[in-house]
Amino acid sequence: SMMREISGINVMEQELKSLLNLHEIVIVPGNSDESPWVKEELGRASAASMKRRLKGNTIIAVTGGSTMAAVAERLTPDFSDETLFVPARGGIGEDVKNQANTICAKMAEHTGTRHRVLYVPDQVSKEVYKSFLKEPMIKEVLNLIKSANMVLHGIGDAITMAERRKTTEEDFEKITGGHAVGEAFGYYFDEAGEVVHKVPTIGLQLEDLSHIENVIAVAGGSSKAKAIRAYMKGAPHKTVLITDEGAARELLKG
Ligand code: G3H
């Protein structure tokens, strides 16, 4: 649109695409660190991007976080009936409102489609965990996650995420000692994009991304620039990044 041209957003999208070596980038105006409505705009842009990529039978794996929660609020009942939302991974220590299970339920409610949940406890012994994995219901959801053809995920600042989640002191030291700056899917990355810590849970693993047709990352706010840069070092080229002007300007400063 005219607005996007005048504000130079189109130019920024092109510059950021080559800087991060990504297939597609959408930048929404504003900085979500400063204005809460920008997260709503991220949600709107994500919904549009998802809809463009939907095919009849789409299984969408979704991560947790406040950005994903904002996306859920912006989804509308124009998704195919055959859409199914599943959480990307098991619990990673988040509060209920930020959990992927909760967000999937919201997404299904707003789109008038279906969702499945993955109920695996966060803090149990290895033995209990293993017996959970033998449950037919859990196996079934894990199979659905493995056959997802779309992934929608957030990217977080490493320390912010480690503090927000129930991170043990030992893991916290791994994260800070490894100089993690970014987080996605419960994986923590340093500036070079190397994984320095991973929350051990079932479901989607980082290496699974390469087999999934549509990968959409949503993250905004200037405070997330470092995290986005780090994560994108190792992210698949096909990743579509939906971000805001705040993060984009900070990223382009270098
Ligand atoms: O999983 C959490 C995301 O990586 C970031 O969370 O959207 O609340 O910043 P957020």
Per residue in 71-84, pLDDT (tens digit) is 999 999 999 999 99
Distance (Å) from CA 242 to ligand 1 centroid: 13
What φ, ψ does residue 79 adopt, rounded to 5°? -95, 150
Length of the chain: 254
147 burial type by CB count under 10 A (0-12 exposed, 13-18 middle, 19+ buried): middle
Q: Hey, what are 62's tokens?
A: 């979704």
Distance separating alpha carbons of residues 71 and 92, to the nearest angstrom: 20
Q: Tens of pLDDT along 9-33? A: 999 999 999 999 999 999 999 999 9
Ligand 1 first shell, C-beta below 6 A: 63-67, 154-156, 161, 183-184
The residue whose CB lies within 8 Å of the most ligand 1 atoms, and thus the one to mutate among 33, 39, 40, 66, is 66
103 burial type by CB count under 10 A (0-12 exposed, 13-18 middle, 19+ buried): buried
Q: Hey, what are 147's tokens?
A: 């056959």
User: Closest ligand 1 atom to the C-alpha of 186?
Assistant: 1
Distance (Å) from CA 156 to ligand 1 centroid: 5
Distance separating alpha carbons of residues 253 and 198, to the nearest angstrom: 29
CA distances, 23 to each of 110, 190, 217, 236, 238 (Å) = 28, 23, 12, 9, 5
Per-residue model confidence as pLDDT tens for the chain (254 residues): 666 666 799 999 999 999 999 999 999 999 999 999 999 999 999 999 999 998 888 999 999 999 999 999 999 999 999 999 999 998 888 899 999 999 999 999 999 999 999 988 776 788 888 888 899 999 999 999 999 999 999 999 999 999 999 899 999 999 999 999 999 999 999 999 999 999 988 999 999 999 999 999 999 999 999 999 999 999 999 999 999 999 999 999 97
Q: Is ipTM > 0.95 here?
A: yes
Residue with CA at minimum distance from ligand 1 atom 2 = 65
Q: What percent of the chain has pLDDT over 90?
A: 85
Q: Tens of pLDDT along 184-211? A: 999 999 999 999 999 988 999 999 999 9
The separation between CA 191 and the C-alpha centre of its own chain, rounded to angstroms, equals 19
138 burial type by CB count under 10 A (0-12 exposed, 13-18 middle, 19+ buried): middle
Distance (Å) from CA 162 to ligand 1 centroid: 11
Contact 59, 147 (CB under 8 A): yes
User: Closest ligand 1 atom to the C-alpha of 218?
Assistant: 7
